Amino acid sequence: TGILVSTSGLWADRQGAILAILGLAGLFVLVAHDLLPGGALGRAKYIVEGVVSIVFVTLVVLLTGGAPSPFFIAFALIVVGAALVVPPPAAVAMAVLAAASYFVAIVVDLPPGGLDMAAIAIVGVNLLALILLAYVAMVVAREQRRTRRAAVRLSTIDALTGLANRAYLIAALQREIERGTRYGRGFCLLMADLDNLKEVNDSFGHSAGDRVLAGVADVIRAGVRRIDTAARLGGDEFVVLLPETDPAGAY
């Protein structure tokens, strides 16, 4: 934007103000991304950045012609970027704010005779593009979240029983060891395996054995606390990690 404004000469009378706004925007990016601690803005980080960015873009659009400004695309970039990382209601709110800010930039510098049909058409196309891009970004983000949840589930859950798998159990156990070492608190493990599962598989087929494993998993799941981690270690072996539990409580 700075290069285009400086070299085109289209807004020579407002060039200083535009470059000053761009400098402030760059300073904001520097502070938000490099100087502030990573968790300073918390979960509102993207929303705060989006709102502040919309303010800067509104000023630039206002100073570069309003409705026909070539920098309207920045509104769309902000809204699309936000839609990919924030919940859908926040993305919709960001799109509404961008559209309203665009109207403000147009109205503040409205020509004496109002907008002609060409300018009105530009505004309509811009707003339609903003809405469609925001919708597409939200759809993409929804699919990304669904895929991410499925990947996490596949990497941590035993597909047959719905209990935690071996990898998740080992990680949870390591965390519990570290916590117990630091705070001096104990934990227990329940370990169990099924007798004669092979006979079930041989007599009735592996699908019957799978139903037995799933049924045992349901019993285990129903019999432990919410803070416990029930897992299938492999084959017919089950383990339950019991935080903050002494041997008597485990028994």
Summarize the confidence of residues 128-151 as an average pLDDT.
91
Q: Residue 214: which H helix or E strand, with range?
A: helix 206-222
Check pLDDT > 80 for residue 43.
Answer: no
HSE-CB of 241 using CA atoms within 13 angstroms: 21
The pLDDT-based confidence of 111 (bands split at 50, 70, 90) is confident
Check pLDDT > 90 for residue 29.
Answer: no
Check pLDDT > 80 for residue 136.
Answer: yes
Cα(33)–Cα(21) distance, integer angstroms: 18
Q: Residue 231: which H helix or E strand, with range?
A: strand 229-234
Instruction: Give pLDDT, residue 32.
Output: 83
Check pLDDT > 90 for residue 234.
Answer: no
Residue 61's nearest CA partner among 34, 26, 100 is 100
* Single-letter amino acid, residue 232: R
Check pLDDT > 80 for residue 127.
Answer: yes
For 51-92, how does the pLDDT look when each residue is reduced to its tens digit (9 = 90+)?
999 999 999 999 998 888 999 999 999 999 989 888 889 899
Instruction: Give pLDDT, residue 56.
Output: 94
* Single-letter amino acid, residue 161: T
Summarize the confidence of residues 168-179 as an average pLDDT.
92
In 3-state terms, what secondary structure has residue 119?
Answer: helix
Task: Provide, rounded to the nearest whole percent, the portion of the chain with pLDDT above 70.
Answer: 100
The pLDDT-based confidence of 3 (bands split at 50, 70, 90) is very high
Check pLDDT > 90 for residue 159.
Answer: no
Better-scored residue on pLDDT, 38 or 106: 106
Residue 54's nearest CA partner among 147, 142, 130 is 130
Residue 238's nearest CA partner among 220, 211, 215, 212 is 220
The pLDDT-based confidence of 222 (bands split at 50, 70, 90) is very high
Check pLDDT > 80 for residue 38.
Answer: no
Better-scored residue on pLDDT, 94 or 47: 94
Instruction: Give pLDDT, residue 78.
Output: 92
Summarize the confidence of residues 113-132 as an average pLDDT.
90
Check pLDDT > 80 for residue 42.
Answer: no
